[in-house]
Amino acid sequence: MTIRGVVFDLDGTLIDSTEAIVASMFHMFDRLSLDPPLRDAIIDSIGVVLEKQIATMTDHDPIECARVYRAHYGETACEQTIALPGAHDALQALANSGLSLGFATSKRRSYSEIILRHLGILDFFTARVGPDDVTNHKPHPEPIELAATQLGIAPKDMLYVGDLPIDHQAATAAGAACVCVTTGYASRGELELAGVAHVFDDLADVATHVLDGNGQR
């Protein structure tokens, strides 16, 4: 594997924003006087665009729900989100090797940038793609293709790193390579069943895989 750029999903891949998402969801249900779902139902829905996520838990107007959710999330997300272990070191190692980096996420780009800046890792990313930047969302290949365009490379020269089967589906459809980590919202078994050839338990192993594959032992 020789690649020119690496693009990351965020939630469950580079950052853990579970508590921020759960808290904002419960705030939304309470504010709109809706019956709340179980915590596990919220966690199991993480990874898709917000309106689609909400639709899995309530029949209430997803636009109104999303407005209430985002108002709360925008004020609280930074204090309840952490970088996953090894994230900074992995990004630094990849950047030092000369690879271009980016993110393509189902989280709004503006919130993603605020959180990543708070965590001190925003400046690593040249490509920055959120759901508001595309017409079609993962598992459609458009977010991956746009990230490649922003990096100035072809998808075939890019590696996408995610944590869900939809990440693998989107990357494969775009013609990009994909690896996944078990730090997010799918198990190793679920990822392997979805056809992910390389599944890692942490970001350090992802960086080693990339750098070894690029002949940079």
pLDDT single digits (tens) 127-142: 999 999 999 999 999 9
What average pLDDT does range 176-190 have in this prediction?
A: 98
Asked whether 61 and 50 are in contact (CB, 8 A), the reply is: no
What average pLDDT does range 202-210 have in this prediction?
A: 97
pLDDT-derived band at 198 (thresholds 50, 70, 90) equals: very high
Instruction: Tell me 84's DSSP state.
Output: P
Q: What is the pLDDT of residues 64-112, one digit of tens each?
A: 999 999 999 999 999 999 999 999 999 999 999 999 999 999 999 999 9
Q: What is the pLDDT of residue 216?
A: 63
- Please report, to the nearest 10 degrees, the dihedral formed by the alpha carbons of residues 56, 131, 14, 114 taken in order: -110
Measured in residues, the chain has a length of: 217
The Cα–Cα gap between 103 and 87 comes to 13
Q: What is the pLDDT of residues 10-55, one digit of tens each?
A: 999 999 999 999 999 999 999 999 999 999 999 999 999 999 999 9
For the chain, list the domains and their CATH numbers. 5-16+82-213 (3.40.50.1000), 18-80 (1.10.150.240)
Write down the pTM of the prediction: 0.95
Instruction: Tell me 119's DSSP state.
Output: T
Instruction: Tell me 97's DSSP state.
Output: T
Asked whether 121 and 1 are in contact (CB, 8 A), the reply is: no
The Cα–Cα gap between 147 and 194 comes to 23
Strand partners, 49: none
The Cα–Cα gap between 38 and 132 comes to 28
pLDDT-derived band at 217 (thresholds 50, 70, 90) equals: very low
**Catalytic residue positions?**
9
Instruction: Tell me 83's DSSP state.
Output: E
User: Within 13 Å, how many C-alpha atoms sit on residue 95's CB side?
Assistant: 14
Q: What is the pLDDT of residue 127?
A: 98
